[in-house]
Structure formats: structure tokens, C-alpha cells
Amino acid sequence: MLSIEAHNLGRQFKTRKRKEGLSSALQSFFKPQWQFKNAVKDVTFEIEQGEIVGLVGANGAGKTTLLKMIAGLLHPTHGTLVSLGYTPHERNHSYLKQIGMVMGQKSQLWVDIPAWDTYMLLADIYDLDPAKARARVELLAKQFRVHEQLGVQVRRLSLGERMKLEIIASVLHEPKVLILDEPTIGLDVLAKDVIRNFVLEYNKNENTSIILSSHDMEDISELCDKLLVINKGELVYKGTLDEFSKNQNLKQRIQSIISEE
Amino acid sequence: MNLKTFRKVIRNSVLSDIEYRFDYLVLLLSTVLTLVMEWAVFKHVFEGREVVGGFPKTHAFAFILFGMAIRTTQVLWGNTFEMIDEIRDGTFRRYLLQPIFHPFYFLARSIGSKINSIIAITVICLVYKFALGAPESFLTLSNLIPTLLSFAISCLILWSVYLCIIYISFYLEESHFLIMTVNISIGIFSGTLLPLSWLPPWLKTVLQFTPLPLLGDWPLKTALGLLSYQDFLNQLLLAGGWLVLMNVFISIIYKKGMKRYEAFGG
């Protein structure tokens, strides 16, 4: 069963162009010059329910833009995108209840209070039974080995602990599609292992479609069934990881695409 | 977004604010100092006079006290700045990813961040009413409900104004100045610092075309018992009109803004 289907999907950004210095800042204020960038160009792909798909590309290749369109955060400029039967950018609440997203560098937890308080708020937002939500948090915290950190203000935690708590927040409502944007960024080897094991187990148990963007090739090779390689907004490869590896060494191929930048 | 969620957002806001106790203490201290300073100025203005610019001396302290209460509750909704910055740096996505109605979420956050002030002010007003010789017309049984109603509606108008500014940030990067303009305008021109009757006629005419008097002057005069029933109803109608107008505007700029939203950077 198809989980996500994109056809000729594209997103263009309009940004103000200006040189350095005060005079050009003033000039730009009164007479702005604009430049257009196609962050994602005519991308077509399908993701089956229960697949783990790796999204790979250089910085600025368009990965996050693509993920944000799937999450409904960005409107596509052209093309169509259907996820779980919904048009994501319409941000239908029944769709939002079925997706989860983790962005490595952005937090959805309230930083000044313990994660427990955010989880209980999320349980209300997603209409979860409080007792079941509590039990689920306990279980997930045990899996991630962060049980003791649940009662500590989030801002006092280490990066790895925070990331694990972020993932718990994203899967609390058992989403059918989980979007992970660089979830292991800046983490040590042990923390990466814990997260990878969790992703594999979660996918196996819940049959969740997972889209994983990462610069860490071990994340991709250990977790993904399928691979999407994006370069300058265009999809340059889509297929299984095995096929890709057979054609050429996986690491070398991806590195050559990234180094084209 | 149901009532339970609304309540929990308020609760989490309160818990977050409690983390910054010194901010709260400084705010409380500055409020008390403002009260003392304002009372000193009013005493000087009313020296040897019973009425100044149509405003009775007997209501002066009640005016200062309740005016301060309104200003403290309304001005500087800190999370407005925060949400504008979240639109700029992309963290605003946290609201868009969840099945919530952002305007209500923002309202709950705002109430949560002001709940400490509301409790403190309610206690001060009650002490003033029952122990410190407030004028008889201050917060009577007959004007209590109109006062609460006008105060709640004035907060809703302000919530709409702040929401407008937040959503304007989808279009305009530099929108902090709008909040500062609103805050300064509320402080000076809403009628909580000085009675509006003391302002020059041309300024009063200009203010009639803005919602500013509805934010301060209306609930304040209602609480002091200085507004006739008919005037109260007229203001209620006007406030309703402003609310509808602003919420139509909010709905338009939100829908269009979301299409433009470019959550740049990670």
C-alpha cells in the first residue's frame, strides 16, 4: 500500500539579494532585488507503507524542503503530493495526527519545564488516554534509557538526551509516517546506536513509514530499505539500497554527488 | 483544540514562568513603584480641586489602581516576540505540525504568562474594595459583570492585535517595532495612565478611530461606575465590530501567509 506519492513536486524560494555593507543594506531597503531558487525541482517518487527510506544529499540540496512539504509545513510551488491519502499542506488535523517529525536542530519540547509536562500536553493534543500515554512514555523512556531525565528541565539536558526525548515526543501518538531530519546529528556513537536500534524496532513493530535524512552513511546503510538521492533540488537516484550498492560502492557514489557542490 | 488542552497549555506556561522568579519579582516591584509615582503625580494635580477635566478626585486612586491592573495584564505579552522570532527562524513549525488551532494556543500561552499578575491584581483590588475605603461605585455588584465582560473583551481585542502582528511576520521580517508601537500606545493612549478626558480634543478624535480606548478606558470606566448603561452597550457594540474586523483580517493574512511561509534553515 502506498504511503506517500509525489509527482513533479517542486518548491521555489524567493529571497532578497544584497551585498555586504551599510550602503547596499540601505539600497536593498528602498529598492530590493530578488533572487529565485528552485529548492526542489520536479521530484517524483513513491514510498510504501512500512518502508524506511533514506534521503541523502549535500547541504542545501533540498532534503529539508522536501521533508517539510511532506509534513505540510511548506506549500509546493508545483506538482502533487499525497501522503496517507491527504494533501499535506492542507494540514488536515486527521493527517497531522498520523505523522511525526523530528528535526535535529529544532525542538518541539518546552525547554523550561520537564519533558513529562510536554508529553502530557501532547497526550491531550492527540486525544490519547492519559493512563495509556503515561505507560507509553515509561516504556519509550526505558527503551531510550532516559527515564531519569523525564523529570529534569529540558534545557539542562545533554544534546543526546534531548534528542531521545524529542523522538519520544514525535512517536507518542504512534504516527503512521515518521519524518526524521538528521536525528543523529552531533551525537556520540552510543547515542546513535540507541536511536538506530529504536528506529528499526519501531518500524518493525508499528509498520510505520520512516523517511530519514542524514549525512551519516551508517544511519542510511543500517536502517534504510530504499534510497532517494537529491542533488541541487533534483532526484538523481531512487531505488533500493542493494541496487545502489551493487552499481558502485555506496559511500563513494554518494560522496561524489555531494562533492559536486 | 479542546478545553483540556487549553488548560494544560496555560498550566505549562505558568510552570515555565515560575522558572524565572526574578523576572516576576522585578515586574512586581516596578508595578508597585509605578503605582506610588502615579499616586504622587495625581495628588499634585488634584491639590485644592475636587474635579480635574471632568474626572472626580474621589475616584483618583481607584483609577490608578485599576488602570495599573489593566496595563500589567495587557502590555508586553512576551510570547508575541517569541512567536515572531519562531517564524523567522523556522521553529514556528512546532505549532503547525500538531493538530492544534494556533490562535487558541497563543491565547492559552498568553493567559498562562499573565495568570500570576491576574491573581496578584485581583487580591489587591479586593483588599482596596473591602479594607482601604474604595469609592462606593468601584466594583459593585451591579457593575462587576459588565467590568469582567469589558475586561475580557478588551483582552480579546489585544489578543487579535498581537495575533495580527505575529502573522504579519510572514510578510515582514522586521515586525518587532509593531509590538513596541502597540505597547507604547496602550501605555499612553488607552486611558489607563491618564483619563482620556485630559487629552487634547484633536487627539481624542483620532483615538476614537482606533481600538485603544476599548482596551483601557472602557473597562476602567465600567469598573469605576463612571459609564452609563447606554454608553456601556455602545462600547460593547463597537468592541464587537473591532473583534470581527480584526479576526477576518487575521484569517486572511494567516491563510496567505502560510502559503508564503518559508521555514528556512534546518
Q: What percentage of residues in chain A have a pLDDT greater than 90?
A: 52
Query: What was the pLDDT predicted at B172?
Result: 83
How far apart (Å, rounded) are the C-alpha atoms in residues A49 and A157?
Answer: 34
**Higher pLDDT among residues A17 and A109, named by residue:** A109
Q: Which residues of A74-102 are buried (b: 16+ CB within 10 A; e: fewer)?
A: bbbbebebebbebebbebbeebbbbbbbb
Contacts of A98 (CB under 8 A, 6+ apart): A84, A175, A176, A177
Contact B12 A91 (CB under 8 A): no
Q: Is residue B24 less than 8 Å (CB to CB) from chain A?
A: no
How far apart (Å, rounded) are the C-alpha atoms in residues B84 and B90?
Answer: 10
Neighbouring-strand partners of residue A178? A100, A210
Nearest chain B residue to A179, by CA: B97
Q: Which amino acid is at A154?
A: V
Contact B99 A74 (CB under 8 A): no
Contact A124 B262 (CB under 8 A): no
Q: Which amino acid is at A186?
A: G
Give the torsion sign (CA, B135, B141, B142, B148).
positive
Residues in A whose CB is inside 8 Å of some CB of B read 13-14, 64, 68, 71-75, 91, 93-94, 96-97, 99, 101, 103-108, 110, 112-113, 117-118, 120-122, 124-126, 153, 181-182
Of B147, B194, B160, the closest CA to residue B46 belongs to: B194
Q: Which of A56-70, A237-251, B145-159 has the lowest mean pLDDT?
A: A237-251
Q: What average pLDDT does the segment A84-99 reach?
A: 94
Q: What average pLDDT does the segment B206-227 reach?
A: 90
Contacts of B15 in chain A (CB under 8 A): 112-113, 117
Residue of B19, B20, B97 lying closest to A101 (CB–CB): B97
Query: What was the pLDDT predicted at A114?
Result: 94
Contacts of A75 in chain B (CB under 8 A): 258-259, 261
**pTM listed for this prediction:** 0.83
Ramachandran assignment for A174, one of left (phi > 0), alpha (psi -120 to 50 degrees), beta (any other): left
How far apart (Å, rounded) are the C-alpha atoms in residues A53 and A230?
Answer: 13
The distance of Cα A59 from the centroid of its chain, to the nearest Å, equals 14
Q: Which of A122-131, B4-13, B75-84, B169-178 has the lowest mean pLDDT?
A: B75-84
Q: Is residue B3 less than 8 Å (CB to CB) from chain A?
A: no
Of B78, B94, B98, the closest CA to residue A107 belongs to: B94
Hey, of A110, A122, A180, A182, which one would you mutate to test binding to chain B, going by the most B CBs within 10 A of its CB?
Answer: A110
**A123 — pLDDT class (breaks 50, 70, 90):** very high
Nearest chain A residue to B96, by CA: A73
Contact between B70 and B151 under an 8 Å Cβ cutoff? The reply is yes
Element (H, E) at A33: strand A33-48
Query: What was the pLDDT predicted at A250?
Result: 60
Residue ranges in B21-140 assigned as alpha helix (H): 21-45, 60-74, 78-89, 93-96, 102-131
| Average pLDDT value over all residues in chain A | 87
Nearest chain B residue to A70, by CA: B97
Contact B266 A73 (CB under 8 A): no
Contact B96 A91 (CB under 8 A): yes
Q: Provide the 3-class DSSP secondary structure of residue A258.
A: helix
Contact B99 A96 (CB under 8 A): yes
Contact between A126 and A85 under an 8 Å Cβ cutoff? The reply is no
Residue of A73, A181, A182 lying closest to B96 (CB–CB): A73
Express each pLDDT in B150-206 by its tens digit. 999 998 999 999 999 999 988 887 788 888 888 888 888 988 888 888 889 999 899
Query: What was the pLDDT predicted at A254?
Result: 65
Residue of A75, A106, A112 lying closest to B19 (CB–CB): A112
Phi and psi at residue B110, in whole multiples of 5°? -65, -45
The distance of Cα A26 from the centroid of its chain, to the nearest Å, equals 38
C-alpha angle A109-A113-A118 in degrees, rounded to nearest 5: 45
Element (H, E) at A2: strand A2-17
Residue A259 pLDDT more than 70? no
**B265 — pLDDT class (breaks 50, 70, 90):** very low
Element (H, E) at B7: helix B3-18
Q: Which of A11-25, B44-58, B137-151 has the lowest mean pLDDT?
A: A11-25
Contacts of B21 in chain A (CB under 8 A): none
Express each pLDDT in B88-101 by its tens digit. 877 888 888 899 98
Contacts of B94 in chain A (CB under 8 A): 106-108
